[in-house]
Every structure is written in C-alpha cells, then in structure tokens.
Structure 1
Amino acid sequence: MIGVRNGWRASTRPLGNAGFDACAIPSITTALWEKWILLSSLGGITCLMRGTIGQVAAAPGGPAFARAGGGGGVDRRGRRLPAA
C-alpha cells in the first residue's frame, strides 16, 4: 500500500504490472497498525493451538476458537465482536 501523498500513482504502475494489488490509502500508519494487529492475532492463535493456521482451521473447534479470539475480540473502532 502506498501513501496518497507520496507519488502513489507512479509507484502503483510497476506493482500492478507485477501482479500486486496496489491502492491509495489515506493513512499508512493506520494500515500498518491493522497489519500488526492481524499478524499478532494469528501468532497468538498458532501459539495457543500449537499448530499452523491451516491446522487450526482443519481442527474440530479450531475456527470457532480463532473467531472467539480468547474473548477479547474487538473491531478497529474498539467495539466488541459478537461471540462465535
């Protein structure tokens, strides 16, 4: 993802030609935080379940466990997610 203010139009052409999805975003900081939250959540799930995400998804109750997030699931605005 390329910041809107940093010449993103010129930067997205080579990425698009290489098969990457490129888009302009208003805040790179927000996008990076969302990425870190996703990666840390996946890391927590794999550590607690002692397997890869694929193994967790294939295990009985694995997807429900991942959706539950240990009871602390919130969206990016801080609202609680519905229970799995």
Structure 2
Amino acid sequence: MDNLMSEGLSLMVFGMGFVFVFLTLLVFATGIMSKLIAKVAPEAPVPAKSAPVVAVAAPAGDDELVAVMTAAVHQFRKD
C-alpha cells in the first residue's frame, strides 16, 4: 500500500510540473507572438465616433440646473 501511495504522489508531482512548464511556455510564446504581430502589422488608429445629440426639454425656472448639466456633459465628452 505504501508503494502505491508513493507512486501516486510521484505521478501527481510529475503531472503538475508538466502542466506548469507547459503553461509557462504558453505564456511566453503568446507574449512573443503578440510583440511580433505588433511589429509586422501595427493596428490602425480607430477614429472616435461622435455621440448623437439628444435634445432634452428643461422645465422653466431651472436655468442654473441646465447650465450645470450642460457643463458636466461637455466635460464628460471632452475626455
């Protein structure tokens, strides 16, 4: 029984080590391929799409609120 347990543990360690080495190599290979593709075919810049303008009717007497909201929207769109 003791021999069977030690064989099981050695098989487990071997299997986990093999998976660890394989995944490590996979991470390095993916990084190298990513850098190679970035050099060979750089990504074209994507033009920014403008958001559609939506008109919202504000209730009468809320001029200050409308001004604050307009400034917030302009600040958000600027970034």
Select the structure of larger CA radius of gyration: 2
Which structure has more RCO (C-alpha within 8 Å, separation ≥ 6)? 1
**TM-score (norm: length of structure 2):** 0.32
The normalised TM-score by structure 1 is 0.30
Q: Which has the higher strand share?
A: 1
Question: Which structure has greater helix proportion?
Answer: 2
